[in-house]
Structure 1
Amino acid sequence: MAVGTVGGPLLGGFLTDAAGWRWNFYVAIPFAVAALVMLQRSLHLPRHASTRARIDYPGIVGLSVGFSLILLWVSLGGNQVPWASVTSLSMIGGAVVVLAVSVWWELRAPEPLLPLTMFRNRTFTLAVIASIATGVAMFGTSVYLAQYMQLARGATPLESGVMTIPMMGGLLIASTVIGTVVSRTGIWKRYVVTGSIAMVVGLVLLSTLHYDTPFWIVGVSMATLGAGVGMVMQNLVIVTQDAVETRHLGVATSAVTFFRSLGGTIGVSAMGAILGSVVASQIRTGVGGLAPADQVTAADALGGGEIPTVSALPDVLRTLVESAYGIGTGRVFLAAVPLALVTVVAVLRLPNRPLGTQTGVERRAAEGGPAAAAGVAEVDDVPHVIDVVEDSAVETGSAVAGLAPVGSGRERDTAHAHPGD
């Protein structure tokens, strides 16, 4: 998921150059169809006792409206809507009221959309806090690094995608290698702490960007940030799943992912406001120092308020615009540093206990849950398993073959000796 998010600019740049930006939306369709086919062919869920669930419609509406108001306020603020205005106050005030009512309801709902009692769990709460900042780092960099490459370094959309490969490479390598180590040993905290520190270092390095920063420095900065995100992002989900009751596995996983996406969305909008403000200020200052004839040229080329095509600008304006976007991008990443520091503090405070070696089915049986009583298993309740796809894996009846609990190599070998478990 993270590689897809960060690698999107590479494919998107190619499509934009070759066929136009709209194809960035169409390209998702074959992937979605392929996902449907793969799920139908490979995801074999056992039957389980059916239960009647109450859908929390008030919770769905309340949380959606409250968070949407915040997103709209951050997106429109400082541009279409002044920060200090009645409209801004109405948006943020309305969001606070709606979310407060939603919290009141979620505490009383028979089957809440988001059980707030989970926040009594220290691991869950700290993982949510850390995920918010991780989302800002991941989504923010994927958006504004591509803009930096195009507007501060004069790259084409395709070139900008290629130039962000160090970020994608650092993320892919770190998440794969560290994920394997965590799966084999059950030890995770040292890697999550290291990753959160790497995120801070990467953002600090990126905050020094200018339009003429040597690219090797840019590449090292991106790789450092990518490695940090790769060590933190998915391991926070695994740690959360290990710390909550099996009946809350689904909602706990969804909550961590939701708050990561929410943080990323709000962060991208806030970063955009910072970038726009800094770039406008830098361009005004730069244009004021030009000769009168060049000021007229600048007014014609930049007066429309649209993002310019840098390669088409006169040399005197091209350098000015590239410098403005370079400085603005650096300020954007500097603004993300405090959030990354919050992630460091949050992961440092996570209880340091090794991951369990039981599958979700075994945990449910130990807890005496309804799945154990019915003699059935819900695959969604398996938090720490390695999905082994082998030619010899055979599904018999409702048993799921090839599920091995994470732990030592010895424990996994034992699990493979009894695939029906």
Structure 2
Amino acid sequence: MDLPVVVVGAGPSGLAAAAELLARGLTPLVLERGGQAGAAVAQWHHVRLFSRWSELVAPAARELLAGHGWTAPDPEGYPTGAEWAARYLLPLADALGAHVRFGAEVVGVARRGRDRVVDAGRETEPLTVHVRTAAGEERITARAVVDASGTWGSPNPLGGDGLPAVGEAANADRIVYRVPDLSAEADRYRGKHVVVAGSGHSALTALVALTSLPDTRITWLLRRGAVGAVFGGGDADQLPARGALGKRARAAVEAGQVTVVTGFRTHAVEPGLTLVSDEGARVADVDEVVVLTGFRPDLSWLSEVRLDLDATLQAPVALAPLIDPNVHSCGTVYPHGVKELSHPEPGFYLAGMKSYGRAPTFLALTGYEQVRSIAAAIAGDHAAAERVELVLPETGVCGGAGLFDVAEEQTSGCCGAPAGPQPLSLTAP
């Protein structure tokens, strides 16, 4: 029987996996709980990516789309999330046709007739995918499963110990976990005291956007002890838009538009709104809090498959040393594939953002290389699966961020030759 390869999630990596599998003569079945392709991307539709179109279209997807009359966008352009979905993800799902099902939530994966404990038959029995739809429950027998469901639905909390701060849930109406869409909700933030918590690119994007609002007071909370290399590599970043974002955020701080508070690990959110650190420091008279502290994988529905996950990052154990943020920036991560993404459960793979566990700064290019390698392995082409067909753009930052680093700022390209400054217009969301 020709069993399908089930792909969980119709996001960029999941749809690319389907295109790769189809190109190899396999039968993909993409299950997406949302109502459209790129459902998570649609929720940050207003944010402009710092990757070009040339870095956002998977090679196998491009070939598939070419046969359906698709007009490729300008490869040098920088789309918003909305444009990425409308001009690429939605047409790709249409091209895949019946291989993609929406409104299908995967609630479990298991080995047919065997729970996690049973050894016998794990190599020969297929996987079963437990699905919930509007019509009820369903079981799908699968040759292999690629979990590309991402991490968007599991943002990290404000609390500095990885759990919600005391009072965080009680003040949920004044706390958001996404970059604000100022085209629709500027009044919520205009003229207010807004706290942004986080040190990644989403936090920088939010800071730059909020500085466009008049009379808005912005406080930036960093858990680390110093700003360090948080602004990135600037002109040395081989993704120019990413470097330009960091430069704009730095300029806002230096101009006094943003107040930076370092070494602040939130312990409590008191009525008022006042944020209290675990050392007793206080940020008072807060109106709104924007929490952009990263994401984590939802592993709850994978309890019956045998995963080999790193104890720190919750990423595949062979991948974790390559992506540890204490050591690497995303430009120093080595390309990887099925070898690093395999688990003790035969035929099961994590791919895309979810494969990084709690590690930050994932590039679409990385996901596309992952699923190319996985699809080759499932098809039995082990030589192709083991090849490395990707070179990642350097960040211009040497090594990783560390947890609470006090490293000096990087002002030149030490990870690669400096990428010359390029004129860009990064529209604030």
What TM-score comes out, normalization by structure 2 length?
0.24
What TM-score, normalized by structure 1, do the two folds share?
0.24
Which has more strand, going by share of residues?
A: 2
Higher Cα radius of gyration: 1
More helix by share: 1
